[in-house]
Amino acid sequence: KHYRDMQDIEFTIEKGKLYMLQTRTGKRTAQANVKIAVDMCKEGLIDKKEAVRRVKPEEIDQLLHPMIDPKAKVEVIAKGLPASPGAAKGKVVFSAQDAVEESKEGEVILVRMETSPEDIAGMHAAQGILTARGGMTSHAAVVARGMGKPCVVGCESITVDYEKEEFRVGDIVVKRGEVITIDGSTGRVILGSAPMVEPQLKGEFAELMRWADEIRKLGVRTNADTPHDAKLAREFGAEGIGLCRTEHMFFAPDRIKAMREMIIARDAEGRKKALEKLLPMQREDFIGIFRVMEGLPVIIRLLDPPLHEFLPQEDEQIREIAEELGVSFEELKAKVEGLRELNPMLGHRGCRLGITYPEITEMQAKAIFEAACQVYKEGKKVIPEIMVPLVGDVNEFRNQKEIIVRVAEEVMEKEGIKIEYMVGTMIEIPRACLVADEIAKEADFYSFGTNDLTQMGFGFSRDDVGKFVPYYIEKGILPRDPFSSLDIKGIGALVKIGIEKGRSVKPELEIGICGEHGGDPDSIKFCHKVGMNYVSCSPFRVPVARLSAAHAVLEEEEEK
């Protein structure tokens, strides 16, 4: 009752007399910490705010994922970046196809130099993902976090050999079929099968989260591209979707062919013909997501990546796809070469695609509003918010908004339905922060894409930072990886400018963040301070974000 916390007490008994030597706050697991905080609150020793304050957001991760038993002795053979928390073990495979096939027989770990959107099926099938290259916002890292799968990226000490189907670390050779364990919370790669501790979510956890929700002011949404992920996030307490990436929907085997037909089409008519095949598929995707998120806002980002990502890069694959599409090897090879860019992250992507090929924006807008109308007819409330990516100038946004609004009105008039919707943009280019007042005259909402904003603000390639950022941290040049936790001094200043300029024109402008920083506790505190409406993060980070948002309020109260 005096310390109002669980204590470790040292004592001795001498000649029948008890002597109290010292006492200190007792160490405990994350699960025990949650239970103690809730129990003490119910006993009247502490209040709800103190109970919430005592559980650190970082601890919540331990409650949501399997962990390696801390008492176990393990053989660590390499270390990379801890891209997605939790531990996983399984037989090593080196291709997405092998992951899909072999996962039917048992657990597998997918090992790649780096992943691409074509590896999605294999990533789904694998227990965990290990890559030799990449940073905290690389494809593997972002997708794995969204799936809730353990992932270690940027493990530069391993050499992957696809032909021999093995990877090497110094003198150690790990071949296909051998078992490894990866720890996505620490970045460790372990030889063999390490003993695990399974997560246990009990009633106290749900109760503590309810108390956190009573305290926080920031909304918490999720980054989800499928009905499954959206449902999971809603169960974790998400209040909408802050980022639905439409490009992942095009990589399914039944869709990639139509997507490739669209890319190699010689004119707009050819592209429209291919897009007509994709329209019903895309519409079904959105119907599924709108149903799951009934009554909650859903922000859908239009196509963002450069088109070369949808085409094969190796000659052997190009021959196969050319035959499948009914074109010559030379024609497809020329198209692949023509789309290749020296710096694709700064190239022909985002709204630039929609401006060059307006039929892509038309198809996506049509799919969104046809889906919204259908779900509305089922008696469900639908709140679509369409987001235009990579805008750096108000004229880019205006161009895309005109297409979206025109298609929306056409669909709603045809269906005889009126649905409230918003059209906004992703603020991810530094220039957009500086002209945010101009863009706000046209946009209904802003969502800060801090992955790209960090990349362009620092001039760091987010797929290559694993090579040097660990040394920066080790030598004290940077306090932490800026792709994991927002750089408040620099990138944060750009965000602040963007918010102030945007709200100087529209005081009620809806503003959120949908980069991976949306699940980082320190970044969330910054989002609270600068007056954002919500943060958005991968489904498994939603509870972390809810608790972090509550901590931001409690810290603000303490400062006053």
More confident residue, 220 or 314: 220
Tell me: pLDDT of 177 over 90. Answer: yes
- Output the pLDDT for position 530: 98
- Output the pLDDT for position 200: 63
Residue 454: pLDDT band with limits 50, 70, 90: very high
Tell me: pLDDT of 6 over 90. Answer: no
- Output the pLDDT for position 314: 83
More confident residue, 49 or 31: 49
- Output the pLDDT for position 201: 63
Tokens of 523: 């970044």
Q: Out of 70-84, 282-296, 324-338, which region has the weakest mean confidence (pLDDT)?
A: 324-338
Q: Are 118 and 253 in contact (CB under 8 A)?
A: no
Tell me: pLDDT of 248 over 80. Answer: no
More confident residue, 113 or 25: 113
Neighbours of 422 (CB within 10 A): 15
Q: At what angle do helices 203-215 and 30-42 cross, to 10 degrees?
A: 70
Q: Out of 41-55, 77-91, 311-325, which region has the weakest mean confidence (pLDDT)?
A: 311-325
Instruction: Sketch out the chain's domains with CATH numbers.
Output: 7-64 (1.10.189), 67-197 (3.50.30.10), 216-246+268-306+344-559 (3.20.20.60)
3-class SS at 9?
A: strand
Neighbours of 31 (CB within 10 A): 18
More confident residue, 550 or 266: 550
Output the average pLDDT for the chain: 93
Q: The sheet that has 151-153: what strands, in order across it?
A: 75-79, 188-191, 179-183, 87-93, 108-112, 128-131, 151-153, 81-84
- Output the pLDDT for position 21: 93
The mean pLDDT of 55-83, rounded to a whole number, is 89
Neighbours of 14 (CB within 10 A): 7
Burial class (CB in 10 A: 0-12, 13-18, 19+), 25: exposed
- Output the pLDDT for position 444: 98
How far is CA 311 from each of CA 67, 332, 411, rounded to the nearest angstrom?
38, 9, 32
- Per residue in 111-155, pLDDT (tens digit) is 999 998 788 889 989 999 999 999 988 889 988 987 889 999 999
- Per residue in 481-505, pLDDT (tens digit) is 899 899 999 999 999 999 999 999 9
What is the C-alpha separation between 392 and 185, in angstroms, rounded?
A: 36
What is the C-alpha separation between 229 and 541, in angstroms, rounded?
A: 12
Residue 52: pLDDT band with limits 50, 70, 90: very high
Active-site residues, by number, are 139, 514
- Output the pLDDT for position 438: 98
Q: Out of 156-170, 267-281, 352-366, 461-475, which region has the weakest mean confidence (pLDDT)?
A: 461-475
What is the C-alpha separation between 408 and 420, in angstroms, rounded?
A: 10
Highest average pLDDT, of 55-64, 191-200, 515-524, comes from: 515-524
The mean pLDDT of 8-36, rounded to a whole number, is 90
- For the chain, percent of residues with pLDDT exceeding 70: 99
- Output the pLDDT for position 102: 93
